[in-house]
Amino acid sequence: MARSSYRASWIVASALIIISAPGLADRDKSRDAREEAQRKESALRNAEHQRKMQGVAQDAQLKTYRGLLGAKATGKSDAEVIQMGKQWEADMRRQAGK
């Protein structure tokens, strides 16, 4: 009798698993979709943060170059000042190597 009860319980448990499997698959898909959306949002926030940090770094570099170049940087565009500053750094490295 115990064997028959065990068999019936096993059959009921198996049936419940089979019946609930499609629901579990849908839940997995929605969880996967939520996780993917969270990853994308995190990547966008990270990219925005990187852009801001690059802007801050470029502003600091520009301010430094304008200070180093003095009157030579007056009236020049940001791109020209950066190019002149990099050239100044290269010249200083060359002189230090002599």
Are the C-beta atoms of residues 88 and 65 closer than 8 Å to each other? Answer: yes
- In which band, very low, low, confident or very high, does the pLDDT at 79 lie, cut at 50, 70 and 90? very high
Q: Which two tokens stand for residue 27?
A: 């839940």
For the chain, the 3-state helix, strand and coil shares in percent, each to the nearest 5, are 95, 0, 5
State if pTM tops 0.75: no
Are the C-beta atoms of residues 66 and 73 closer than 8 Å to each other? Answer: yes
Looking at residue 26, its pLDDT comes to 65
